[in-house]
Structure 1
């Protein structure tokens, strides 16, 4: 049964629109004419402008980002809080029993594999980059302290851990969960194409196949490609920093290009093999390596202190989630805007990509099972991961041990500086670099599948060459930005992606209303 075929015995929306109905075929591609064409034109215009005028583009787009964050901080915060409450409510309400795909639908992937795929696509690479740098930054006041707590104090340690979990816990996963659940429900239970516009059908009807739907899908494509390309570019810079730190390999533009070429090559191989043969395999490898690395650090590090950090992270999160969620009268403006609101806009800009990928692999799960797996389990795993890495790092700072004791000089090196104080430094640093690269591959290949689906009008069986095209394009854009404008060009495109988070926040709130309406229509089928 295809993604846009409704299950038997359920209500379906009375639309004659089919996935790929407005597609055109050329050069081996099968794409939605308007979505593909307009998205490509906007993407190339932004990239060329950022390369030709990197400084001006950065200033302009950073101003747009700052305007969005500074003037709509309250909007981002209210929306983020609402998404958490909305998802938690679905766990306990009767509609939590609704199964994605119908009462007879069976999961297509094992629970462990399913979790590995959604976690790797969602934020695996971010946890590698920030699990050390972020808690240390908050503890030392590198770029503001949460709630203006005094840096380098016991109170700062607890709040640093709580604020880190706040940014990587329930709120981002609720953002992903809303989009993912809406897409999965309307595709598998209502027979609509697996694309962003379908989530608005209960409210706007056939108009979603027109200009309104084109706008939504184009916005999703641009946010996804910008987010992936900038992450690939910045990720290459982090990987080369690690290679230089570990092996003395020159941290040059050519090294960064080689890293991008390797990641893109593996991603092409993965997307060519498809979901089961590529993305699923790499996601499982990802999680296995990550688990082994975490266990190793737990064993060879200060085990007692790490277990204590798990409790501190948890208590810091629970005690401070409400103060950190507040948007009224915040005095910690540097931290509030520079970290929290920035994160919320970034997670929302990534939600079309991550949400659609999670939806694609979640057929057969109940709404309750889905929300628990997407919201609660990743939060717990992130807590343990952050405690192992962040807890070890903060202990080194407190004891004046290693480079981290002197503060954060380069966030991309923080993890390797923490590894330097552990046994078998070279080995675990090498494993860390491999893990960073593999996480980037899973983001790239899963992102290529998502962009392919949107630009193919919701079709999930587009030609293989089309999936490869998007994987190659991501790498080309990242390389072009690095060559043409370096970090300034990457920052400009990242700022554009974050700015897109503002209109998409409004779309997500509307999406919640649409999803609620759709779920209510299926309540009569709940056993």
Structure 2
């Protein structure tokens, strides 16, 4: 039997419980799937048949976009931070992602652990030592002298800027829109479903909604391919460091991509969820062990000192970092933004559909305020500690003349840093395992999300469509690396930016849709109605009793006019 509290809330529209599983067989949306598939396959064919022309076209397009619309990424990313925090601290923060009275599906400890899992990945493994050290050796334009004491603070603040509030606010926006619309309003799990407040029910299933889901598919595909490409770069370097291979050619990269693609496709369609979860848990333990090891054998005191210093400088320089654009700084600033800030914003936006859906699924029953706090604070804290450990160790080695920076190759720096610590052979293998398993356990979920978007929001997309998107992700990753040539990371950055730009507009509009949705929430309507009734009662009491009255609540007499009920307001004794 339901409790009185639950029964009272069940009568309010838009708060009915919703199952994640879609009844019946998954139905493919042939427009969304077909258009995205054809264009993506055409991209792979173009890259395979004429790598030079694709590389030239991508570079030309990137240059034009950076010069003309790079500002959009800069403003939008900070806008998502402001919007997420505003939702959390406003009166809308009390709204639950689900039916009122629902308890959170996961205990807080488990929920935080899953947040931690989502906050770790290939990016932290690849850039953990590389980014702080690179900013120390080559500080952002118009900041500090290279390898100076001031450059340490700037390097850490810039890294934290790229990995804390901004990326997780991007994920929070989409996660809130999906979680609120699905659990609270009973809508489907499509990105386009979250636009119902702006488009109306009929248009939210029309041609414009198809375009939104197509753009979400493109963003997820290119974001996943970027992670696969970055992972392949680091694994290839690790294999060379271990003496397993001699060549660093493109052929090795393609073979690594093939192996990783086969692994995550098999994991996505095998149904061995427990096995993948077991591998993910092992990965988290390995990552924690590696971090503790580096912290213990590295410059422990220096790392501890970096933590408060990095936070303070980040807060102090936040405005300056958030306002960097190509308007000042000339070509040097444009190159910095393209290689770092704007690339990151594009990468996070590309991952937003996948990570946002994941965060929404584990957060049913949480309030908007709890969701925003958990999604932003927990992963940001993990990133802060991770970069302090690995970045601090790298910077300290560079100051001591060990030169882990080497030739500036990002995929090489992590292994260079570990090479100056004990047990370098073991830690190098652990890094490669971490990268491989992080990608397999994340990319299989991304391919399922792409299947979900292709099959009208189904939580269990058909196996064939998951295999298709998994294989295509590998193909796009290979092309990204090939068109980058000797600087393979450049190819990844260029294509990721171009693929994510249209979805940036979608996310901006999604903020307006979500704001309109929560304003019309049943809880907000009741609050407004209560304020209106109370105001009317006070006005009536003041008019009738010259300000000397008290308010009471009691059942009205059947058939009587409530406004004539003397019990509504009466003179004070």
| TM-score normalised to structure 2 length | 0.81
Q: Match for residue 456 of structure 2?
A: 457
Contact 2:15 2:184 in 1 (8 A): no
Asked if residue 229 in structure 1 is aligned to residue 225 in structure 2, the reply is: yes
User: C-alpha deviations, 1:66-124, integer Å up to 9, x for none?
Assistant: 22222223222221111111111222222222221222434444545544545545662
Q: Within 5 Å, give how 1:192-207 maps onto structure 2.
A: 192-205=187-200, 206-207=202-203
Structure index of larger Rg: 2
1:72 counterpart SS class: helix
Q: Report how far residue 232 of structure 1 moved.
A: 1.3
Partners of 2:522 and 2:392 lie apart in 1 by 45
Q: Match for residue 167 of structure 2?
A: 172
Q: Match for residue 65 of structure 1?
A: 62
Cα distance change, pair 523–164 in 1 and its aligned pair in 2 (3 A)? farther
Q: Match for residue 562 of structure 2?
A: none
2:421 counterpart SS class: coil
Partners of 2:208 and 2:242 lie apart in 1 by 51
Q: Match for residue 557 of structure 2?
A: none
Contact 1:353 1:450 in 2 (8 A): yes
Partners of 2:249 and 2:480 lie apart in 1 by 15
Q: Match for residue 298 of structure 1?
A: 295
Between stretches 425-434 and 100-109, larger displacement belongs to 100-109
Q: Match for residue 548 of structure 2?
A: none
Asked if residue 162 in structure 1 is aligned to residue 164 in structure 2, the reply is: no
Q: Match for residue 561 of structure 2?
A: none
Asked if residue 38 in structure 1 is aligned to residue 35 in structure 2, the reply is: yes
Contact 1:115 1:373 in 2 (8 A): yes
Q: Report how far residue 61 of structure 1 moved.
A: 1.6
Contact 1:170 1:379 in 2 (8 A): yes
Structure 2, unpaired ranges of 5+: 1-8, 528-573
2:28 counterpart SS class: strand
Q: Report how far residue 208 of structure 1 moved.
A: 1.8
Q: Match for residue 374 of structure 2?
A: 373
Asked if residue 212 in structure 1 is aligned to residue 212 in structure 2, the reply is: no
Asked if residue 314 in structure 1 is aligned to residue 311 in structure 2, the reply is: yes
Q: Within 5 Å, give how 1:430-441 maps onto structure 2.
A: 430-441=429-440
2:241 corresponds, among 218, 238, 245, to: 245
- The count of corresponding residues between Structure 1 and Structure 2 is 509
Q: Report how far residue 276 of structure 1 moved.
A: 5.0
Contact 1:51 1:481 in 2 (8 A): no
Q: Match for residue 189 of structure 1?
A: 184
1:440 counterpart SS class: helix
Cα distance change, pair 338–252 in 1 and its aligned pair in 2 (3 A)? closer
Between stretches 276-285 and 56-65, larger displacement belongs to 276-285
C-alpha RMSD of the superposition: 3.0
Q: Match for residue 4 of structure 1?
A: none
Contact 2:55 2:484 in 1 (8 A): no
Between stretches 316-325 and 145-154, larger displacement belongs to 145-154
| Larger RCO (alpha carbons 8 Å, 6+ apart) | 1
Q: Match for residue 556 of structure 2?
A: none
Q: Report how far residue 145 of structure 1 moved.
A: 2.0
Structure 1, unpaired ranges of 5+: 1-6
Q: Report how far residue 204 of structure 1 moved.
A: 0.3
Contact 1:345 1:498 in 2 (8 A): yes
Cα distance change, pair 340–117 in 1 and its aligned pair in 2 (3 A)? same
Partners of 2:480 and 2:180 lie apart in 1 by 37
